[in-house]
Chains A and B, each alone.
Chain A
Amino acid sequence: MHRSGQQLSVNRHRASLLLALCFTTLSVSLHSVLMVWVIILTLCALGAQLGLYFSYQQHAIATRQINLLAILALLALAWFGMSNGLLNSMINLLVTACALKLLQLNTKRDFLQLFSACLFLLGCGFIFNLTVSAWLGYMVLCIGLLLCLRMLFVPSQSLFSGFRHISVLLLQSAPIALLLFMVIPQFPPLWQMPSSKTQQTGLAESVTPGDIASLAQSSALAFTATFEDSPPPRATRYWRAMTMEAFDGKTWSISEKRRQAEKQLHGLGKKLPLERTESNAYQVIIEPTHQRYIYGLDLSSIAGTSRRSARVQFDYALRSFTPIASKRAILLNYHPNAAPISPLEGFDSQLNLLYPENSNPKTEAWAADVAKKYQTPRDVAAHIMGYFATQRFVYTLTPSAMPTTPVDIFLFEKKAGFCAHYASAMAFSLRVAGIPARLVTGYQGGEVLTGRALQLRQYDAHAWVEALIDGTWVRYDPTSMVAPSRISQGLTDTLNTLGQNRNSNMFDAMQKTLFFSAIQSMFRQLDYQWSRWVLGFDNQRQKNLLTTLLGELSSGKMSLIFIGMLLVIALVLAIYFLPLTLKAPEPKETVIFKRAAKLVERHTRIARNTLPANAYYELVKDELPTTARDSFQHITSNFQLLRYTPQASSRNQRLDKMAAQLKLLKKALH
């Protein structure tokens, strides 16, 4: 027995040490957001706890020193906070506060506060890591944290039994949590949250064909698309990300005028006529890019609940309202038969005829010549396409650099390059020839994962040209003239046939073995299903699921569903706990004695209440007829014998005798 206090014992406190370990692991898992000195502070706090546990150190650090540290840390946070963004600063602040708390972990109250903060940090971890493995890791940490808590309140049990109990608790709570997850409506964001400032990935916002290609090297996943019906054929799978309408002679980029026009048009509430055509619904799950563009099959519109978070621009590109900081699922409608009509023909053609004069003089002369030869814009475009096909152009991922007059050098000297070179040269030529044209970047193709799902990787990035002819944007893909297999089979196959390698990865050979490709495809499948069912589970999906399970949803039915959910939870709890609360059956001797006592009670009208058996017998014996008294005495004495000396011999015989005596008693009292 010991006297309790709110004070934790400082040395050899297992729960504190485990909490320190969990906290440190948690902050290391957040290393992409945390500043280096914050992680170092965390490690120091862990070191201090280790010192206390192994008794290198006898006392926790004094409050005064902690306060000094806290002031320094706050100053540092305020200093770096400006450049870090609000979300990152907040997480840094929380981790710093936890680390300082860990340094002076003295009372139960400190412990519980630290625990709660760690739980919250664990949740924040999901902002940055959404993969299956991250989730598993965080679940392990969650078990660890709960184990700390249990060790605090049940200090003397072994680590293993604590672990077992926590696992049982979590397993029991899983069905309830899943039920809540499926039934509680997914609300739209309640207010705007700060987003993380992290290195942007994916497509660049400008294209300079003269530079060396880098994107095509990466096999990282860009996005996954899942169609309700079968996906369209590969040759038509052009995924638009950005349209680039400003050209300075070397670099294509998104036009400032376009950005301003978008804002104005959006403010006016104008709409594109896409929605009226036939559509095919699909979902894209985009890997985090920290940028706002969304990849949509040409042409697509935003569908369902995703309308709250994204919209179609007037250049038919899709934009999210907030940067995509974590894996996000977006519902889209594909309009295969819609024509990309220019919504503002005057503005579009004006913007897309601009080019810097004398930037690529040879091309300008050549394009002017072509324009004179052919009457219609379509003929001009066809001639340029034919030029690529006939002039022995080569498709390569490693073209030489073209620092000055890149279009001239590409078209008339090197004649080797990849999609951006071809698209840039063509769009420039068209502009010179007086045909409004622009560069579109995005992805092309995609690998079939299952019958209805496609995966697009960074090496599927592509660029093509759009020309404005008769009020409609017409797509031209000059790359297809040079390397038709790039469009029909994808990049990897194209390079194989051309005898080039996408990258010089040493694992390449290994990846070709059957075993590795099997494992790789298994992980891809797992990741895809995870993204689709767990990360992409939104309001729409939730409704669909409930509709398939329960039929059409009305508001009355929704309230029934909620009541049903509560009932199911009650049922689950009953399954868990009812068998435990049911009393173990009473031993036979008790049953017989109780029956006898009841008979006697009824006869004598003397209540037994809580009297011991023999005391009750003494109380009533004078009120009973002789035979009944003998029987009751026999039952009482045997009951006491069996009840209080469980190892008594000939138990069964005694029980039989008791039962016989009970019969006699019944007879005697009737």
Chain B
Amino acid sequence: MNWAKRAFTQAIAKRWLTWLDKRIPANATHQLTMQSIFVLPTVFGWGFLITAIGLFLLGTNYQNNLMLLLSYTLMSLQLLALFHSYLNFARLTFKVGKISHICANEILMVPFSVVSRDRHAKAKPAGLLQFSWLIYQQSPQQMTVPTTTTNPRVQNNTSGSNQEINTCPSVTTLDLDKDPHEFGVPLRFIQRGRYALPRLTCESVYPLGLFRCWTHLDFAQHLLVYPAPLKGCVDTVAFGNEYSRHIATTGSEDFFALNAYKEGDPLNRVSWKHVAKNGQWVSKEFSNQQGIAQLLTLDPTLKLEKALSHLSYHIYSLHQQQQSYGLKLANTTIAPGNSSEHKKQCLKALALYPKDSS
């Protein structure tokens, strides 16, 4: 039963998204039009109508023309509010800013700017805009929209790795009359990978909260999500000698990682605490390496995602220390370097590394 329900919702969501793709095609800028705006009364709008109908009944029963007039005025006011609401919303144009790549679990403020359609027009768009992400889970097992969660952090921990994207606060509000028209909408990804920016839902209940105008905009943006940096050990190989699984030189200034003790490691590097604790011989590695550049590589003893996270951590910290490093993953080898471009290249390789099939 549950399974059927999920399959059904999934099918609906898929059709809905396909229909949206046709109706509101992806573009870096969106001028809102009849094509892209949806309008329906809010709950309060229905309540307002019911109040007007109640006044009509009361006016009819008391044969009271003033009450009838009030009721008709409220009804026509509602009709006019529909147009005012729509016109205000249709004056908006959205542009997406430059999106930087981020690590998993980091909050990305996706930059947008909103401008009035005619900069010289007398009537400027006004009121509050609310933004949220239109997210259906990529995984077939989970087709939920987490935009309504009040505390996404809690949910992240419990829902495991199936959930790939999450929004951080669910709704962001922009006051067009007060706030700058450049703004960020927070977004967070749980897993590394390459993602298309989800559709941005933008809504407004201007002017009286009677009607909700909304739209779902696809800005045709993609972004890379790097593995979340996680402090831990990695394997290294010396550049040029890919068979030697050994650290050539390690300085003694900065503690960098713990490696399994290998024969020939100097005794002053052995972490005696570990030996005393559980008899495990590990040697400390320090990060002030000089001389031969090293290639970082996956620690095969760890789970893939964890190993990638360790790599990510090392890339960030080596880059910060302005040391040169390289990366070796399955078939790709990135020669050592330490420029920003180099860092991005390495992280991209991590982000796109094929997922563990097991």
* Chain A positions near chain B (C-beta within 8 angstroms): 1-4, 112, 116, 119-120, 122-124, 126-127, 130, 135, 138, 142, 146, 149-150, 152-157, 165, 169-170, 172-174, 176-178, 180-181, 184, 186-193, 309, 325-326, 328, 534-538, 569, 573, 576-577, 580-581, 584, 610
**Interfacial chain B residues near A184, Cβ < 8 Å:** 72
Most buried by B among A126, A191, A534, A584: A126
**Interfacial chain B residues near A569, Cβ < 8 Å:** 76, 79
**Interfacial chain B residues near A135, Cβ < 8 Å:** 66
* Chain B positions near chain A (C-beta within 8 angstroms): 27, 44, 47-48, 51, 54-55, 57-77, 79-81, 83-84, 87, 90, 118, 120-121, 123, 126-128, 130, 169, 171-175, 177-179, 183-184, 205-209
Q: Is B69's CB under 8 angstroms from A189's CB? A: no
9 cross-chain CB contacts under 8 A: A142-B73, A153-B127, A172-B80, A173-B77, A173-B79, A173-B80, A177-B72, A534-B65, A537-B65
Q: Is A120's CB under 8 angstroms from B63's CB? A: no
Of B66, B87, B169, B172, the contact of A577 (CB 8 Å cutoff) = B87
* A170 and B208 contact, Cβ closer than 8 Å, known pairs A4-B130, A127-B62, A535-B65: no
A364 to B70, CA, bound (A): 61
Minimum distance in angstroms from A188 CB to a CB of chain B: 8
**Interfacial chain A residues near B209, Cβ < 8 Å:** 112, 149, 152-153
Closest to A113 in B: B47
* A154 and B64 contact, Cβ closer than 8 Å, known pairs A2-B173, A119-B51: no
**Interfacial chain A residues near B173, Cβ < 8 Å:** 1-4
Q: Is A146's CB under 8 angstroms from B208's CB? A: yes
A215 to B272, CA, bound (A): 114
Minimum distance in angstroms from A596 CB to a CB of chain B: 22
Closest to B184 in A: A1
Minimum distance in angstroms from A140 CB to a CB of chain B: 13
A569 to B81, CA, bound (A): 14
* A576 and B208 contact, Cβ closer than 8 Å, known pairs A120-B51, A127-B64, A169-B77: no
Q: Is A193's CB under 8 angstroms from B61's CB? A: yes
Minimum distance in angstroms from B254 CB to a CB of chain A: 39
Interface of A: prevailing SS: helix
Closest to A116 in B: B51
Closest to A146 in B: B208
Of B58, B62, B83, B175, the contact of A573 (CB 8 Å cutoff) = B83
Closest to A584 in B: B118
* A170 and B60 contact, Cβ closer than 8 Å, known pairs A116-B48, A577-B87, A581-B87: no
**Interfacial chain A residues near B67, Cβ < 8 Å:** 123, 126-127
**Interfacial chain B residues near A309, Cβ < 8 Å:** 63
**Interfacial chain B residues near A152, Cβ < 8 Å:** 209
Q: Is B126's CB under 8 angstroms from A326's CB? A: no
A25 to B177, CA, bound (A): 30
A102 to B209, CA, bound (A): 20
Q: Is A116's CB under 8 angstroms from B47's CB? A: yes
* A1 and B60 contact, Cβ closer than 8 Å, known pairs A112-B44, A173-B73: no
A170 to B76, CA, bound (A): 9
Q: Is B208's CB under 8 angstroms from A150's CB? A: yes
A165 to B209, CA, bound (A): 14
Of B68, B76, B90, B128, the contact of A153 (CB 8 Å cutoff) = B128
10 A-B pairs closest in CB distance: A176-B76, A4-B173, A173-B76, A156-B177, A156-B178, A177-B72, A126-B66, A180-B72, A123-B55, A177-B73
**Interfacial chain A residues near B76, Cβ < 8 Å:** 173-174, 176-177, 180, 569
Q: Is B79's CB under 8 angstroms from A573's CB? A: yes
Q: Is A534's CB under 8 angstroms from B66's CB? A: yes
Q: Is B70's CB under 8 angstroms from A126's CB? A: yes
Q: Is A190's CB under 8 angstroms from B175's CB? A: no
Minimum distance in angstroms from B176 CB to a CB of chain A: 8
Q: Is A538's CB under 8 angstroms from B63's CB? A: yes
**Interfacial chain B residues near A3, Cβ < 8 Å:** 169, 171-173
Q: Is A1's CB under 8 angstroms from B58's CB? A: no
Of B63, B81, B127, B174, the contact of A189 (CB 8 Å cutoff) = B63
Minimum distance in angstroms from B64 CB to a CB of chain A: 6
Q: Is A326's CB under 8 angstroms from B83's CB? A: no
Closest to B59 in A: A123
A157 to B178, CA, bound (A): 8
* A150 and B66 contact, Cβ closer than 8 Å, known pairs A1-B183, A3-B172, A190-B61: no
Q: Is A149's CB under 8 angstroms from B208's CB? A: yes
A457 to B55, CA, bound (A): 33
